Amino acid sequence: MSQAAILVPGQAGEGPALILSAPISFWGGVDPKSGRIADVRHPECGESIAGKVLFLPGTIGSSSASAVLMELVHAGHAPTALVLHEPDAILLLGLIVAREMGWMTPVAVKLPRDAFSAFEGQQVRVGADGEVTIRGSDLTD
């Protein structure tokens, strides 16, 4: 269990951990219609961030990342929680604006980058209070 700082408050979320091995540009790198990673140069290309607890080693590129994340939230394809090692104002703005619109948003929390690997391959729950826990696989359905 880790206690993470809350970057943007939101709904608690649970799902398989997806730990990206390289920074990603949400705009052009993630399909806003599905959550699939579309950047052919990205190591996790083809995987979907929808329904995952997404561990992000950073973002690059376009300043439209917030629009893509907000669209994923609105369309129901967002990660169930986001874990970043530092606040990413451009990306997280998508959550801030979605909250202003009155939509349900996943919680975004901060953990040191070297803490990410402990969650590899695990079912993870991020509480609304920032508690990050590994769930036994028998608890998932």
Partner 1 sequence: MSLKLTADERRIANGTDGAAMAMRIVAESAALLGAPRLLPIASAHIDGALYHGDSGTLFAERLVEGGARVAVRSTLNVGALDLMGCARVRLEEPQRSMARRMMEAYRKLGCEQSWTCAPYQAGHRPTLGTDVAWGESNAVVFCNSVLGARTNRYGDFLDIACAISGRAPDYGLHRPENRLARLVFDVSALPRAFMASEIAWPVLGSLYGREVGDAIGVVAGVARDPGEDALKAFGAAAASSGAVGLFHIASVTPEAPDAETALGDVEAETVIRVTPDMVAEAQARLSTAESTDRIDAVAIGSPHLSLAEFDALERLISGRRLTVPIHACTGRHVLGELDRDGRRKALEDLGVVIVADTCVVVTPILPDRSGGVLMTNSGKFAHYAPGNTGYAVLYGSLADCVESAVAGRPRFAEIGR
Catalytic residues: 62
Q: How many CA atoms lie within 13 A of 16 on its CB side?
A: 8
Stretch that binds partner 1, among 12-20, 61-69, 114-122, 132-140 (CB under 8 A): 61-69
How far is Cα 102 from Cα 105, in angstroms, rounded to an integer?
A: 9
Cα R_g (the chain), whole angstroms: 14
Interface pick for partner 1 out of 4, 68, 81, 124 (rule CB under 8 A): 68
Interface pick for partner 1 out of 17, 53, 73, 132 (rule CB under 8 A): 73
Collapsing DSSP to helix, strand or coil, 130 comes out as coil
Interface pick for partner 1 out of 2, 85, 96, 115 (rule CB under 8 A): 96
How far is Cα 9 from Cα 40, in angstroms, rounded to an integer?
A: 32
User: Where on the chain is the footprint of partner 1 (CB under 8 A)?
Assistant: 7-8, 23, 25, 27-29, 32-33, 38-41, 58-68, 70-71, 73-75, 87, 89-94, 96-98, 100-101
